[in-house]
Chains A and B, each alone.
Chain A
Amino acid sequence: MSTAIAFLTRRKGGKFWHWTDIVTWVWLIGGLIVMFGPAVWLTFSSFKTPAGLAEFPPSLLPYVTQQVRVEGYEKPLPLFNAKLADGSTRVLAEVRRIGIVSQMVDPKAPGEIIKVRIGDREPVREISFATENYTQPFMQFDFFRYLWNSVFVTVTATLITLIVNSMAAFALSKYEFKGRNAAMLVILATLMVPLSVILVPLYSIISSVGLFNSLWGVILPTVATPTGVFILRQYMLTIPDELIDAARMDKASEWQIYWRIIVPLTAPALAVLAIFSVVWRWNDFLWPLIVLSRRELYTLQVGLSIYSGELNVQWHYILAMTVVTMIPVVLVFIFLQRFITTGIAGSGLK
């Protein structure tokens, strides 16, 4: 144990703890709590019953009142720790409540009714995971259909994004032609246009080209990302032109240069773009919600929104489905994470 501590506290050059080390670890541990804590809490909360969710102060773990079957009563009764008139505390089951008086029985001797003021009783609670928050939506809504739609949108949009953006970035970084700067300027300027600003006109365009209620209506408007072109172009600028000239000498066609030289060399930047594209498309909400209104076309994000009614929101389902939709992105990230730093480091993103 002491060696482990010695190992963990060992510092470069065998020096002792410097104040910067303390700052470092405070920052890291603090970061761990602040960054992960909320998501962990969300996950625990997703196992609470609707009543449990509305409770204050909220508990970390999902608790419910313990129930017990008592002879002579049809339904299971809730258990309470009741303080009796003589000052003793007993575990009693509540039969009914009339106003501020609770009528209780001893589960072991159910004959006698004991009256307790409701302020003098505390529910006996046990941890119980409300897994029906997960199973109900799975049965009720066509989960696998939505999952498939989400996967289809995410994968297709990402592939098209990668191909189309990298082709454009290739043209913008390796060819001299009239209007190149203009094209670049337009792309940069629109980098700043948020979707919510062009929502209405975009909607009218989608519906006039007949992409309304179609997954392609979700995919197409998002694939020509200015950010993607921008990142890839910056990366491609660092690829020496000599490589391309040499290939041309060898009679390679422009297409082959693009596919055989540029794309492999841009792989780290493409990986970065791929990760972001997957995260963006998977999490897209506002736009799919507007384009898709038929249930066989719903993506997961749209599917989980059906629990928001006019007057009530069914939070227990929304939280559970949120956790479910989080899982794939986290998996993708774990899978591709080592590309992210190499990609950003190499791209000289600037």
Chain B
Amino acid sequence: MALKSLLAASALALMATTAQAGDVRIMWYSDGIEGEVFQDLINRFMKENPGINVIVDNVAYSVIKEQLPVQLEAGNGPDIARVTAIKDLAKHWLDLRPLVADAKYWDDNFGANADWMRPDGSNQISGFMTQLTLTGGFANKTLFEQAGIPLPGPKATWDEWAAAAKKVAASQQIPYPMAMDRSGHRITGPNISFGANYIGKDGKPAPLDAGAKAFLGKFIDWAKDGSMSKDVWVSAAGQSYRAAADDFINGQVAYYYAGSWQVPNFAKKIGTNFDWVATGSPCGPTACTGLPGGAGLVAVKYTKNPKEVAKVMDYLARKDIVKEFSERTLFLPAHKGVIAEGVNFKSDSPLVKEALNNFVNATKTTSDLALKMPGWRWSDTMYGAIVTRVGQAIAGEMSTTDAFARIDSDVAEKVKASGL
């Protein structure tokens, strides 16, 4: 315990020299322009509240993922952070319930996702989702039209999409019919559609079930026979994330399974080169679900200025601010009131609005199991093991059955090693 108190003391000393009263530091990462929009909103806040100095530290995502958890464990860290592992780190978040102006407002509007970012069994208000994401497919409409193949309808299955995309690829001479990001999160949506359930009875990970094996096996076969681009999946070892977006942007892929966050990216990079549509998630035997996710903005309990932090959070959670943020960044909002009212996304491209609306519609077919995943402690462990081993199977380093066995033993090992 001595080391810990020494640590706390030195951290305190450090804080005392660097943090002034009224300072609020926000750790923020950006995929696109949201950093600029956010800074703009913060500047307005500081004009309204001259006593509070808000500093936005833009960081690489790897800092949020790898370094922030270590900082938090040492009792350091920013006052507010934009985080994706919101459940995993839940014990470090500040309970804003007694601090915010109107807790009921928070419950009403953000209650649906509150469980994703608080310790199990509490009613804590830790923060809110800056954006919701939903995985889903994108089709290169122009390629389909050129090939004379109709786009499969909203209830189409994965097999129907694969068949259609293969025909398109053959007629248009593109290298790959389909592509999916190298990500355990992405592949879990289809897994659930095929009947997978990762969560065991005790809340810990269960061994891969028939549903998961059905889709993963199909996926590995697709990658091996060239129906699915294998490039991104073999392009790293371990659980590194790799996006296949560039191939889609170049018109090299007919059907790309990614998610709502790609919409602004596509609008910027594809321009008028071809038409694309968001198709929602294809169906499996059990469901037609994508996987939700997103990044939360949460307050850290080691803050020296909880009152000011709450004020900043109250401001950022305001209906008009959430609305403006979503409209300018083209993110799907998580605010119930804003969703009910409708969002007028600011984009020149009609494709963008249509795509975002398709994603909003697709949220209706999201299965309950998929909704549970972001709030489940072990989801990242499962995703990591799946990516690692499926990647190896696609690279030809092990058979599909070996990969399944490895996923189970990797996860079991991780659960054991974590000592829980």
Contact = CB atoms under 8 A, between A and B. Distances in A.
A and B touch in the complex (CB under 8 A): yes
A308 B60 contact: yes
B267 to A, nearest CB: 11
A38 interface: no
Contacts of A119: 146
A207 B74 contact: yes
B246 interface: yes
Interface residues of B, number: 59
A97 to B, nearest CB: 6
Interface string B36-48: 1000000000000
Nearest to A50: B269
The listed residue with most A CB atoms (<10 A of its CB), out of B60, B65, B76, B84, is B60
Contacts of B259: 311
A127 interface: no
A250 interface: no
A207 B76 contact: yes
Nearest to A207: B74
Interface stretch (B2-10, B119-127, B209-217, B227-235): B2-10
B272 A94 contact: yes
Contacts of A308: 60-62
Interface in B41-61: 55-61
B393 to A, nearest CB: 24
30 contacts: A50-B268, A50-B269, A51-B271, A51-B273, A54-B249, A54-B269, A55-B250, A56-B252, A97-B272, A100-B145, A100-B146, A204-B74, A207-B74, A212-B71, A212-B74, A289-B60, A289-B67, A293-B63, A293-B68, A293-B78, A294-B18, A294-B25, A294-B57, A295-B55, A306-B35, A306-B59, A306-B60, A309-B31, A311-B241, A314-B32
Interface of A: 50-51, 54-56, 78, 94, 97, 99-100, 118-119, 140-141, 203-204, 207-210, 212-214, 289-290, 293-296, 302, 305-312, 314
Given A207-B70, A289-B62, A310-B295, 14 more contacts: A50-B269, A54-B250, A56-B250, A140-B36, A207-B71, A208-B3, A290-B67, A293-B71, A302-B60, A305-B63, A309-B30, A310-B65, A311-B241, A314-B32
Interface of B: 3, 6-7, 10-11, 13-14, 18, 25, 27, 29-32, 35-36, 55-68, 70-71, 74, 76, 78, 84, 141-142, 145-146, 241, 243, 245-246, 249-250, 252, 259, 261-262, 265, 268-273, 275, 295
